[in-house]
Amino acid sequence: MTENQQEQRIAGPTQAEPAAGTGLAAHARLILAVIIAAAFLDVVDFSVVQVALPTIQREFLAPLAESQWVTGVYGLTLAGFLMVSGRAGDVYGQKRMFLVGIVLFTLASLTAGLAPSLLSLVASRAIQGIAAAMTTATALAILAATFPEGPERNRAFGILVSVLSAGFAAGSIAGGVLTAAFGWRSVMFVNVPIGAAATLLAQRYIARNGGRAVGRLDIPGAVTVTAGLILLVYAFTVAATDGLFTVQTAVPLALSVLALVGFLAIEYRSKAPLMPLAFLRRRTTLSANVLSLFVSSSAGALIVLTVYLQQILGYSPLEAGLAFLPAAAIFFVVGGWGSSWLMNRLGMKRVLVASSAFVTLGLALLAPLPVAAGYWGILPGTMVWALGASIGFPALAIAGLAGTKPGEEGLASGLIQTSQRLGFPLGLSMVLTVASAFDPQLGLSGYRYAFAAAAVLAALGFGIALRFRNERAPILVERATPDPRSVGEPGEVE
């Protein structure tokens, strides 16, 4: 067996290789474009609605606490349904789940634009979050099945992350333009033609694959993990405003712990678990997800910077948004091309170490917050952080899916993205708790303590990155009748 054949046996059948029997290698770039279009909708929809929120609040005459659910419920359902969506793709087929997600997102966008009340708008946004979880979790799995491990997959993941990062900034600008010109409902309606086009292209060009995971979907496990994750994100979100050590935070946090412990008990006894516990015992999988929590928590801390720009430096919301354009440019260029280039030449561990080092340094540079220097006082730290995060997020996505066997891509994708979604509110709640403890009024010293705490969190992530070990599946011995699903359990290598 040649070296090239051995590599194909390790990777397993993919949608772009002959094992699928569809000759999709020529359509790989188009598949990437379709995935990007669907994922772009998910990211833009969050930032674009955030800008339109004051207009929505005025139209429905709703208190701020109630109107915040328009964005809050989207984040809750998106984070809560990622794992179950990824695993459902493994069982029922990634393409099927991806298409259902796009169609559901498009229909929910239409009903959101037609919403007669705030309650109906929040309900549509909740459905949008579920649909976004379906497309997001299956998107990485489809890319993993389309592009084999190595330079091609690294570049595809880098381009995806860079476009999504740029999409977040673009959403803020587009939200302001659309709301001012056509009203807030236009930010919902704009998703409909894009979603319809993405559905048609996905149906035509993404290979149809059946479920490759053994067994059926673990419904009790799906219910408990989804409930637990939603409660966990809700607890951290409440903690960002009410504090980490309050009754309002403690109750949903305790319920979340109970639900997640129940999930682990169910998985231990299940014959077809949603998440086999042996999957988490793989060192690369565990390290990638824990490190993802720390890196994404630093992104949560950056929200504090937008408040600092407006409350301390006196920026308008638009000026505060424009202040992050240099960082967005770094994400687009470095994340899209630099990250994959570094991964191919330096390897996963070195890139993750460099990423966490830059993230830590950037937050440390932000901690002094020299008011007299104005914007130039925060620019170096922001750009250093963006440099580290832009190479880190694609590398973490690749690490989370490294060494997965056929039928595990959705599970791995849902897990690594859940870690990222949890890290954001976790980091924000922790740094604000530290800041409030030293400065209850959250003045200048409070902001400084917040970034100092964020730098400490990032330093812990740097320590994890130093201990990171790559993992790969062993080469199989050739059989008389090869089974494409018989990829062995990944082993650990230095």
* pLDDT over 60 (residue 303): yes
Domains of the chain are 26-217 (1.20.1250.20), 221-273 (no CATH), 278-473 (1.20.1250.20)
Per-residue pLDDT, 354: 93
Per-residue pLDDT, 14: 39
**How far out from the chain centre does Cα 175 lie?**
21
Look up residue 333 and give its DSSP letter.
I
Q: CB-based burial of residue 422 (10 Å sphere; 0-12 exposed, 13-18 middle, 19+ buried)?
A: buried
Q: Which two tokens stand for residue 103?
A: 């169609």
Q: Which two tokens stand for residue 389?
A: 């995060």
Confidence of residue 219 (pLDDT cuts 50, 70, 90): confident
**For residues 431-464, b (16+ Cβ closer than 10 Å) or e, as one string?**
bbbbbbeebeebeeebbbbbbbbbbebbbbbbeb
Tokens 């354009």 -> residue = 325
Confidence of residue 272 (pLDDT cuts 50, 70, 90): confident
Listed in sequence order, the residues at least 6 apart from 138 whose beta carbon sits closer than 8 Å to its beta carbon are: 85, 86, 89, 94, 95, 97, 98, 101, 410, 413
Per-residue pLDDT, 137: 86
Taking the alpha carbons of 260, 264, 269, 272 in that order, is the dihedral positive or negative? positive
Task: Check: CB of residue 449 under 8 Å from CB of residue 434.
Answer: yes
Q: What pLDDT, in 10s, does the model give residues 385-407? A: 989 988 888 888 888 877 677 77
Q: What pLDDT, in 10s, does the model give residues 146-198? A: 887 778 788 888 778 777 766 666 666 666 677 777 888 888 888 888 888 88
Q: What pLDDT, in 10s, does the model give residues 435-489? A: 877 887 778 888 888 899 899 989 999 999 998 876 543 333 333 333 333 333 3
**Stretch 47-65: mean pLDDT:** 76
- Percent of the chain surpassing pLDDT 90: 17
Q: How many CB atoms lie within 10 A of CB 374?
A: 14
Q: How many CB atoms lie within 10 A of CB 153?
A: 22
Q: What pTM did the predictor assign?
A: 0.75
Question: Which run of H or of E encompasses 492?
Answer: strand 491-492
Per-residue pLDDT, 21: 37
Closest among 403, 38, 78 to 205, alpha carbons compared:
38
Listed in sequence order, the residues at least 6 apart from 251 whose beta carbon sits closer than 8 Å to its beta carbon are: none
* pLDDT over 80 (residue 365): yes
How far is the C-alpha of 186 from the C-alpha of 188, rounded, in Å? 5
How far is the C-alpha of 481 from the C-alpha of 2, rounded, in Å? 17
**Stretch 3-11: mean pLDDT:** 39
Listed in sequence order, the residues at least 6 apart from 286 whose beta carbon sits closer than 8 Å to its beta carbon are: 280
- DSSP code string of 179-196: HHHH-TTHHHHTHHHHHH
How far is the C-alpha of 350 from the C-alpha of 342, rounded, in Å? 9
**Stretch 371-389: mean pLDDT:** 89
Q: What pLDDT, in 10s, does the model give residues 21-33? A: 334 445 777 888 8
Q: What pLDDT, in 10s, does the model give residues 70-114? A: 877 888 888 888 888 888 888 888 888 999 999 999 999 999 999
* pLDDT over 60 (residue 493): no
